[in-house]
Amino acid sequence: MTNLAFLESELDESPGHSPLFQVIPVPLEETVSYGGGTARGPAAIIAASQQLERWDGVSEPLTAGIGTSPAVDCSGEIGTIYSRIEAAVRQAVEQKAIPVVLGGEHSVSLAPIRVLAKTAPGPIGIIQLDAHADLRDSFEGSPYSHACVMRRALEECGCSLMQFGVRALSREEVDYRREKRIAHLDGRALHGLKLDNFSLPATFPKNIYLTLDVDGLDPSVIGATGTPVPGGPGWYQTLTFIERAVAGRRVLGFDVVELAPRAGDHGSDFAAAQLVYSVMGIIARNFDR
């Protein structure tokens, strides 16, 4: 795992205030079911971030402050790993920073959601970018598989959920989503759809956790992921959705997961790093310290 900090090449040595964002690398690869490599995802994102421009097209998010924690130790059984992730997230929250978890496989998301569900001033709504619903009760013998993470979050933490970009799901997940009345804008529905006026239902919680699986984007944007699925949203459609979805709400944390770096594909690594930074920008521009 790299010892670099996220965007270290551009960070000021003395920002003058505590960072708004705390990046937490979590190189977990326990339950991947197709292509591997997610353990290398956090290091690849941080390495690629050294090539980012300070200006994200609208503002300079790094002026809000970006800290980077040591990588979480992902050895041992999953319960122990979750405890370590939760400790790192809890430390960020205690320091008044927004935790930014870099995976690693998607199962890492349960840990920050657990922490924030306990510390948030009210109910939490999860906004999920993903090609897959991740709502199975169990997958390949594990209830904590990456394919089950959103179901565990809903059942353990009582969160609301909005899914964006889903285009590969099982009959079990279709039925569960219908039973729980989970809001969604699936990949097929997004084709040609403009989202400039999109808004979440008024009843959706004001406290938000964003979980961004890079396979939610079309593979033409990020192809280096374990299970790429054609027909996903493009770059600007995705950013517009996120910007509109969090308008008037408070983002308590977010993650970017499931990058599986591959030799020669610097574009996917860079796009994942840019996604992290662009989402930081969306949050920082709407954040009132």
Give which of 145, 278, 150, 272 is closest to 217, Cα–Cα.
Answer: 272
244 domain-assigned: yes
For the chain, list residues with pLDDT below 70: 1-2, 12-16, 31-35, 140-141, 288-289
Give which of 80, 71, 10, 77 is closest to 43, Cα–Cα.
Answer: 71
Bridge partners (DSSP) of residue 101 are: 24, 255
pLDDT of residue 139: 80
Bridge partners (DSSP) of residue 24 are: 101
8 domain-assigned: no
Cβ-proximal residues to 55 (8 Å cutoff; 6+ apart), any chain:
none
Cβ-proximal residues to 267 (8 Å cutoff; 6+ apart), any chain:
none
232 domain-assigned: yes
DSSP-derived secondary structure letter, 238: H
133 domain-assigned: yes
Q: How many other C-beta atoms can be found within 10 angstroms of the C-beta atom of residue 156?
A: 12
pLDDT of residue 32: 54
SS3 for 90?
A: helix
Cβ-proximal residues to 83 (8 Å cutoff; 6+ apart), any chain:
none
Cβ-proximal residues to 228 (8 Å cutoff; 6+ apart), any chain:
131, 215, 219
270 domain-assigned: yes
Cβ-proximal residues to 196 (8 Å cutoff; 6+ apart), any chain:
240, 244
pLDDT of residue 35: 56
3 domain-assigned: no
pLDDT of residue 15: 57
pLDDT of residue 39: 95
Beta carbons of 23 and 282 less than 8 angstroms apart? no
Which backbone phi and psi does 52 adopt, to 5 degrees?
-70, 150
187 domain-assigned: yes
* 179 burial level (CB within 10 Å; 0-12, 13-18, 19+): exposed
> First vs last Cα of the chain: how many Å apart?
32
Token pair of 186, please?
């699936």
Cβ-proximal residues to 266 (8 Å cutoff; 6+ apart), any chain:
48
SS3 for 255?
A: strand
Q: Which domain holds residue 269?
A: 21-285
Give which of 95, 98, 41 is closest to 281, Cα–Cα.
Answer: 98
CATH of the domain at 45: 3.40.800.10
Q: How many other C-beta atoms can be found within 10 angstroms of the C-beta atom of residue 223?
A: 17
Residues belonging to the chain: 289
149 domain-assigned: yes
DSSP-derived secondary structure letter, 109: G
For 123, half-sphere exposure in the C-beta direction (CA atoms, 13 angstrom radius) is 10
Rounded CA gap, 263 and 265, in Å? 6
Domain count, the chain: 1
Q: What is the dihedral of CA 53, 58, 60, 65, to 10 degrees?
A: -120
What is the CA 131 to chain-centroid distance, rounded? 13
pLDDT of residue 273: 99
